[in-house]
Amino acid sequence: MKLFKCQSCGQVVYFENTKCESCGHPLGYLPEAMTVTALEPEGDGFRAFAAPATPLRRCDNAEYDACNWLVTADSVAALCFACRHNRTIPDLSIEQNLLRWRKMEAAKHHLFYSLLRLRLPLENRIDNPEHGLAFDFLADSPEAGPKVMTGHDNGLITIALVEADDAERERRRTAMHEPYRSLLGHFRHEVGHYFWDVLVRDGGRLEECRALFGDDTQDYNAALQRHYQEGAPADWQEHFVSQYASTHPWEDWAETWAHYLHIIDTLEMASAFGIKVQPRLTQAETLSAVIDLDPYVPEANMKEIIDAWLPLTFAMNSLNRAMGNPDLYPFVLSPTVVTKLGFVHDVVHGKAR
């Protein structure tokens, strides 16, 4: 994620902001320019400082304080590019649903920032009714019935709305012995399954992927049941980025994909802040890095990315511990995992290995 500023006064603003707290100008995200822009009201819409020639309006989901993305005024679409991927949203007349859905949308829009930065192919269910990417945000039924399960099925991603409840998400994280669980992490993981279909299976990289991640034709349900009954193998850290990644090659890919997005998005923000890691106690190169790369571009080298990432995570974890909090990035990247991350990087940018 980049840093953004109000073009009217120069104040640094967040990706999610709808108003500059310094000068009061309305703000919106312009996906075509990939920037947050200050806005001047004009008629029923706006003129953007970042694109003054194009009349704009807000996505209809701005009505619910759930989206700050902009749409060209002459567009026939009521929703912005990101929100057009929604298939089902919860009953917003229920206040709890509305509050949770807003959190979901914040995480989903952050995801779409990355997907657009990487120029990945994105079709919604209007473009491709059978295989387009779509989201169902579902609340558990008040009657006793099956709980909503987060998952992916042929481009349709279901997210359990209750995951936006911090206490419930933490309870599930603890119960499932996970070191990390977040809304953005859910989106990144589940969209990894979609892009396995698009980039690996349909992109001619299946055999290469199997050589690294294993045979994806093995029974998925049986593998899942085995994982929950027996847990991860004792040496899982040598081969997988997380215990859950050891369940099945599909989950290994999705977990690795999610971590790839964690890494490049965080490094972009660190670079925007000009962060330099140089412990005063030691001059060891393995703990030092100047974060000055753009990890999203095709020219980015995976070795450079990892060489920047490892010192940064050591620093972030140390800062978190100083605050009495768990490690921000509680994972170990073995050489095998780094190789898998490199494959994801190559697939994303269409490089042959």
Residue 148 has what pLDDT? 86
Residue 353 has what pLDDT? 58
Element (H, E) at 192: helix 183-195
pLDDT in tens, 249-269: 999 999 999 999 999 999 999
Residue 143 has what pLDDT? 67
**What is the distance between the terminal CA atoms of the chain, rounded to a whole angstrom?**
28
Closest CA to 151 of 136, 139, 166: 136
Q: How many helices (H) and strands (E) does the chain have?
A: 9, 13
CA pair distance 261, 114, nearest whole angstrom: 7
Q: 116-126 burial, b for 16+ CB within 10 Å, e for fewer?
A: bbbebebebbe
Asked if 181 contacts 173 with a C-beta cutoff of 8 angstroms, the reply is yes
- What is the gyration radius of the CA atoms in the chain, in angstroms? 21
Residue 144 has what pLDDT? 58
Helices 249-272 and 302-322 sit at what angle, rounded to 10 degrees? 80
Asked if 61 contacts 67 with a C-beta cutoff of 8 angstroms, the reply is yes
Residue-by-residue DSSP string for 29-78:
EETTTTEEEEEEEETTEEEETTEEEEEEEE-GGGGGT---BEEETT-S-S
What parts of the chain have a pLDDT lower than 70? 143-145, 283-284, 352-353
